[in-house]
Structure 1
Amino acid sequence: MSTFTSPSTDGKNGTTNRTMNGTMNATTHGAGNETTRHPRLSGMTWLVWRQHRAAYWTVLAATVLCVAWMIYQRAQMMDFLHAYGFPAKNLDDAGKQFDPYSGAFTSVTTGLTAIPVILGVLLGAPLFAGDLENGTAKLIAAQSVSRNRWLATKLALTGLVVTVTTVTLSAVFAWWWNPIKPHYTDIDWTSREFFNTTGPAPVALSLLSVFGGVLIGVILRRTLAAMVVTLGFTVALQMVWGHFKLSLGDIVTATSKPISPGGMITFPEVPRTAHVIDTSYVSGSGKLFDLTTCTDTLSEEATTSCMKKADIVGGSIDYIPISQMSSMQWFGASTLFALTAGIVAFLFIWGRKRLV
């Protein structure tokens, strides 16, 4: 039961009313300031975050745990390096002493290389496929929000989570690896465990995997089917990337100087951490011969005679120095970013018509 009090001319009542009004105004003003000081998600952004918050928080929490583990492992490695006397002492002579730290690299890089696949299957594929399968897309299409805005918000928020995650992991892992990067030859920097987990490579691979999964989900409109196909797509992407990544660099050829006929064949020195692509003999005219040349002879004299007949005077090594790693990653990543942009554009031009 509500009551109505007529305005009073009594001084006391007037003072009370003015005090209450002032308090309400101050409270409202304070609430407005609090809202300004602490912005919160609202509208479509809030809806998308709430719908996928379990997946987003899982990804972010896993990132924090992985970062903490890498920071701990780096501290352990640096303690060992200081006690060992690195870099004054060659790390290659450490042998089994460095095995625990090398094993830590292996365990972490195995997980990091799987991130694009995991994000593509578990985050990209169900992003719209679930809404299309259970009818949520029709409900949203019936509202005042346009499909373009719905599509843009979902893609932007998901892309932001993926970018923050992969950039953080890439930066921390590079920070962990950098102290021994130019010195430890047992680590192949061209392997997917290291090339795909530092710099822009993991970011580009993850975004293409996720948005490729989104497109697959929009086409198939079934969550489970989209996840299975996306798994195949992300694995194929990793294989193609691994096949072409070495072509991103400029091959450097080092050739030993010609020696006197009958002398020992020597090979040129290359940087310690260089990735050797090919090694061969070279003749006086510059022709290259495989290392199996003259190996079918039965005696040293016959081998020497074979070498003289082929006019082999030295050795040649084709390699890619580790100094090209960053430029190779950026060159390859730019291609992957362009493909990702093409998928996003295709989703807006054609895919939005299927979001009902």
Structure 2
Amino acid sequence: MKNHFNAYVVRKEEQGGVKAAIEQLKKEDLPNGDVTVQVQYSSVNYKDGLATLEKGGVVREYPMVPGIDMAGTVEESVSGRFAPGDRVISTGFEPGVSHYGGYSEYARLRSEWLVPLPPGLNEKEAMAIGTAGFTAALSVDALLQAGVTPEMGKILVTGATGGVGSMAVAILAKLGFEVTASTGKKDQEESLLRNLGASEVITREEADAPAKGAMGKQLWAGVVDPTGGPALAERLKQIQYGGAVAVSGLTGGTAFESTVLPFILRGIQLVGIDSVYCPMERRERLWKLLGGEWKPERALELGIREISLDQLPLTLETILQGGAVGRTVVNTISDLPSA
């Protein structure tokens, strides 16, 4: 392990506000944990952008190394679960929030936050999937467990050019579902979404259009919704009998107003998706699927951008402004000088 290594650190300033910059850290600077990982790749998520804002509501204590995702090789371990040389993934739990995260060449973590890198994925692919792709997989799994099948009809994916949405489109298409992708960037991104596997692309306004009356037409067998907000109530009115909605995000807002009618007249399900504290058994099962029969090859081939640590500030600003398309991975083994 290097004597000094690069990390992207957010610190609270004495005069107020926060400042993020690349710093040189030492092994002793890393927090407690039973596994030390040489990080090869991390990823860029909206939550990571919020971690750089004073009032982002993500970071619990300073200083903090953001990066809620990471993949790399175990360097040191006093855990019975992992040994030096093991290739591992960390998504969710505390890294990047209350424990130093993945925007660093090294991370010291708790072994219960790690899963083995599954066969069929390398570190870069795993981070291209990352929390966004894992959340998409949880959403698809929720629809399947609710009894939704390809034969039932179309699946709507909202926010389809974002990380969760684009991965969901690719996974659903691979599993044989007919996918309608909703986006606020239809003119610019329709070609990308069709290449990901969408059979139809509609505007956000079309997807969010209010249904007439207490119940609307039965348009969707299921919905993968990483946006939430008031439009969720309209989507619930348009789910066909026995369908389901998997909601995982709040970029459209946190509140919506609905009635019990879609639930008691059409027997639909509204399933909340949490990727942070997902139980390990389900986490490992879905990562194995993501490396196998659910592997979103189209998304991995089409929508992945690689950056270095020094490109993080602009990239995080872009995602906070809603300008991100697809997935961005961070190569933490950069060309920046280190000792």
* TM-score normalised by length of structure 2: 0.25
Greater Rg by CA? 1
* Higher share of residues assigned helix: 1
Q: Relative CO higher for 1 or 2, CA cutoff 8 Å, sep ≥ 6?
A: 1
* TM-score normalised by length of structure 1: 0.24
